[in-house]
Structure 1
Amino acid sequence: MARRARSRPSSPWASPTRSEPAENGMKSPPSWLQALPMGGVFLLFFAMPLLLIVAVSFWPQNEYTLEPGFTLDNYTTLFSGCGSTDELCVTVKTYLSTLKFCFLVWLATLVLGFTLAYFVAFHVPSLAAQTVLFTILTIPFWTSNVIRMISWIPLLGRNGLVNQSLMGAGITDHPLDWLLYSDFSVVLAFVHLNTTFMMVPIFNSMMKIDRSLLEAADDCGATAWQTLWNVVVPLCRTGILIGSIFVITLVMGDFVTVGVMGGQQIASVGKTIQVQTSYLQFPLAAANAVVLLAVVLLIIAALNRLVDLRKEL
């Protein structure tokens, strides 16, 4: 007589499979219905304001009132003079200046953020010590960005601590004017404010690296630099991309840092938009914001060509 096959008892904690009906005969709602609340929030607080800015950018410019309409005069005014002379127009110069700050800050934050993340991830063995270090790094975020920027002024001014120390040490006989209200001070403040945004995603990627890969590279005779370049850096591409997106978007649209640390003398796209809105030139400012958004999206798209973020995540 053939033995009867015994069915394995199912665990009470096991989730129901597709062939097993859910408890009480209730089916889970479809995926589109589950995503509907978050989609509504996204539509209300992101898509609609963005579409409104795009719409306002095509409105006619009026000195007294905002009247809906459709015109390309705002974009024509924005790029007026471009291509007609040998000299670059004001808008192109402003975007090139902003891109210059963006590249310098991205490079500096990448070097500093990667170095700090590498030290914390691979040279701090205790999880408690890593938590303490991260807490120390977040302490500056407890204060306003403006307060942190203003704190550089007593250090970098003509009579500041840095100039007094340099003259006291005999390195220079007169104060250095380029330390404050210059491109250097703007980049320094940007790096101070945004290094953490680069470091945290890179550190998160480093903590996911299997340490046996580093041991295997060492067993194969790889030097520390070879292991860093051929093992650690490729496995941190996702963190580098996410940190780069954070830094680029923050720097491209910033106007407070450029205004404070540049002494209101350095132009940037964010500063230009802020000035245009202060003079109630809302359609022109909206057109400038649309162009800025397009430039940022092009930069992010170029970065995504290097690393497929959706595939890596």
Structure 2
Amino acid sequence: MNGAAPRSGPAAWLQALPFGAVFAFFFVAPLLLIVAVSFWPTSDYALVPGFTADNYVSIFSGCSEFADPCVTVKTYWSTLRFSFFTWLVSLLLGFTIAYFLAFHVRSTGMQTLLFVLCTIPFWTSNVIRMISWVPLLGRNGLVNQGLIGAGLIEQPLEWLLFSEFSVVLAFVHLYTMFMLVPIFNSMMRIDRALLEAAEDAGASAWQTLWNVVVPLSRTGIVIGSIFVITIVMGDFVTVGVMGGQQIASVGKVIQVQTSYLQFPLAAANAVVLLAVVLMIIAALTRMVDLRKEL
């Protein structure tokens, strides 16, 4: 009998129902609640249900003047700048380390050992890793003292700590691993016969890297970029600690607004931030179809 075998077990939708319920309860419902609260009137110490667009008007107040950008535009520009430099440096570092592990370390055991060594900093708290930079980059820190002792500078460098430099440095330290892991995974899936074919065809090492390795690592690069950019866009702890509470970011603005119980205004800022992040993710995913590549 050539008929298809009858399916056993519950239907596919029934199997997915528990996961769908968890996703709806812990992800979709909170997002919908934030969107709803963003339209509530802002009051001093109470949440009053209602509907108003005043919160969004307040966010974009004065943003029509191009000569003098509003606070929101300046804040988003600062956050996007942090995201871009963190993405660029973490991409260079993550790609280089992943390339070395995937193509220059022949032993699987050594690859595993070196990869585990890369994860050691993640065994400690993010706050501890951030604070560890303070005695290094401070005015009387080891870096300034070393440069003065070597005669390279006469006065301590003030911009090493509590500056945009220190914020980006901490971001790179904290989140480069989120770029390295997906890129390394993509590189390990590359057929080594393709590299040999490129070499036999007369391609140089740089040509092989640019025309073979980079295109085939594109999925990992996109996934790592999504991880790094989305985390940095919403981060406020790193900006607060490493910026000395003097540098603004969107996440920091939302944190301050919630601390002052301005929940509707904070929710509106969160919705705008989510929209910006989703647009960035949409632009990145147009570079590669993740559903086909994964």
TM-score normalised by L of structure 1: 0.92
1:52 aligns to 2:37 (yes or no) = no
1:20 aligns to 2:1 (yes or no) = no
State the 1:85 CA deviation. Answer: 6.7
State the 1:18 CA deviation. Answer: 6.6
Amino acid at match of 2:257: Q
Q: Could you give the per-residue CA deviations for residues 105-141 of structure 1, whole angstroms, max 9, x where no partner exists?
A: 0000000000000000011111111111121111111
State the 1:234 CA deviation. Answer: 0.4
Give the one of 189, 201, 204 matched to 2:170. Answer: 189
TM-score normalised by L of structure 2: 0.98
Distance in 2 (CA, whole Å) between partners of 1:82 and 1:128 is 56
Unaligned runs of 5+ in 1: 1-6, 8-16
Trace 1:1-313 onto structure 2 (pairs within 5 A): 19-21=4-6, 27-84=8-65, 86-313=67-294
State the 1:83 CA deviation. Answer: 1.0
Unaligned runs of 5+ in 2: none
Q: Secondary structure of 2:292's match?
A: helix
CA gap of 1:33–1:268, structure 2 versus 1, over 3 A, is same
Amino acid at match of 1:146: V
The structure that has the greater radius of gyration is: 1
CA gap of 1:172–1:69, structure 2 versus 1, over 3 A, is same
Distance in 1 (CA, whole Å) between partners of 2:213 and 2:156 is 43
Root-mean-square deviation over aligned CA pairs:
1.3
Q: How high is the sequence identity, in percent, across the aligned residues?
A: 75
Distance in 2 (CA, whole Å) between partners of 1:74 and 1:213 is 55
Q: Secondary structure of 1:263's match?
A: coil
Distance in 2 (CA, whole Å) between partners of 1:84 and 1:205 is 45
Q: Secondary structure of 1:70's match?
A: coil
Distance in 2 (CA, whole Å) between partners of 1:51 and 1:297 is 16
Give the length in aligned residue pairs: 294
Amino acid at match of 2:47: L
Distance in 1 (CA, whole Å) between partners of 2:65 and 2:216 is 48
Q: Could you give the per-residue CA deviations for residues 59-87 of structure 1, whole angstroms, max 9, x where no partner exists?
A: 00111211111000000011111114730
Amino acid at match of 2:221: I
Distance in 1 (CA, whole Å) between partners of 2:81 and 2:100 is 29
